[in-house]
Amino acid sequence: MIHVWVRSTLDWLDEDAFWAQVPSRFKRRAELWNDVLDMPFHVFRHRVKEISAWNLSHMRDTVVTSDWEEIPDGARVLPVDDDDWFSPDLGEILDREWSDALGVHWNPFWLGVPSDAGHHVYATRRRLFPSTPLHWTCDTNNYGLVKTPQAKQLALDHADATDWFDGPGRDRVRRIAGRLSINNRTLGSQTSMRPASRRGELDRTRLLRRLARYKRLYRRTLPGRPPWARPYVARMAELMDQVDPADGS
């Protein structure tokens, strides 16, 4: 049995809890969102989480939990954020192909609006030419691990997981064929909400421009997007249709 571990335990509908734990730098961006857009940031993230939960509910041969301690030692674990998606048959595929590896990974599909020109070129190449080398061997939800005392940090942080997969663990991991997950980098993600430059800050113009691009994104047919993702993409398109400028402009 495959265990799906959802990293976030935040109840997005608890607005007070959200504001109490949001980092100060991102707090300014969430406040800007609420000033500029007519759907509050925490409500948008809750709706995104609902779509992700709906996706996870369609997975077969898996157990979903947000409590790491509930997962037995030695179990096979797939970490995921609360906005990303898996292929419904991923559990069945991994039951057949995981074997005795300590970790597995596969090519993810990235769904989002590039944050800059360089990112746009890279994302386009990845869609059209899946053999393009990944920036990260392990992205947010394209890898799995056997639960050990050392595995939690690797499950928490995909950069640490990449270091292990490419380094000490490289002879104990296995690559699985197929597009088995989607990194759904929404308008409300930290990357989408970052400013145009490291020294700047997100502003109204940039946020509205990205809103327009995200409204188009989920209506487009993208090369390489796996067919299993269609119902979740459609739900995201419906959600984006409900987000508009607060002043109606």
Q: What is the pLDDT of residues 27-75, one digit of tens each?
A: 999 999 999 999 999 999 999 999 999 999 999 999 999 999 999 999 9
Query: How many residues in the chain?
Result: 249
pLDDT, average across residues 123-128:
61
pLDDT recorded at residue 198: 61
Tell me the average pLDDT of the chain. 91
Is there a domain that residue 104 lies in? yes
Asked whether the predicted pLDDT for residue 107 surpasses 60, the reply is yes
**Rounded to whole angstroms, how far apart are CA atoms 191 and 22?**
15
Residue 188 lies in a domain: yes
pLDDT computed for residue 131 by the predictor: 62
pLDDT of residue 223: 85
**Is 249 a member of any domain?**
no
State the Cα–Cα distance between residues 196 and 118, nearest whole angstrom: 13
Q: How far apart are CA 226 and CA 181, in angstroms?
A: 9
Is the pLDDT score of 116 beyond 60?
A: no
Residue-number span of the structural domain to which 70 is assigned: 2-241
Between 80-84, 95-99, 175-179, 192-196, the lowest mean confidence (pLDDT) is in 192-196
Write the single-letter amino acid at 88.
Answer: P
Of residues 132 and 79, the one with the higher pLDDT is 79
248 is a domain residue: no
Beta bridge partners of 174: 104
What is the pLDDT at residue 195?
A: 76
d(CA 208, CA 96) in angstroms, rounded, equals 46
Residue 117 has pLDDT above 70, yes or no: no
Reply yes or no on whether the pLDDT at 123 is more than 70.
no
Instruction: Domain count for the chain, please give it.
Output: 1
Q: What is the mean pLDDT of residues 128-140?
A: 73
Residue 206 in domain:
yes
Share above pLDDT 90 across residues of the chain, in percent, rounded to a whole number: 79
- pLDDT, average across residues 172-179: 95
Nearest C-alpha neighbor of 176 from the set 109, 231, 98, 61: 98
What is the C-alpha separation between 193 and 121, in angstroms, rounded?
20
Position 125 scores a pLDDT of 63
Do 6 and 65 contact (CB within 8 A), yes or no? yes
Average the pLDDT over 137-160 and give the result. Answer: 96
197 vs 205, residue with greater confidence: 205
Average pLDDT rounded to a whole number, residues 144-164: 96
What does the pLDDT read at residue 224? 86
Kindly indicate the confidence band of residue 124, based on its pLDDT and cuts at 50, 70 and 90. Answer: low
Identify whether 246 is part of a domain: no
Query: For the chain, first and last CA: distance in Å?
Result: 50
Q: Check pLDDT > 90 for residue 108.
A: no
Asked whether residue 121 is assigned to any structural domain, the reply reads yes
Residue 48 CB partners (closer than 8 Å, separation 6+): 82, 83, 184, 186, 188, 236, 239
Please indicate, yes or no, if residue 225 is contained in any of the structural domains. Answer: yes
Q: How far apart are CA 53 and CA 92, in angstroms?
A: 19
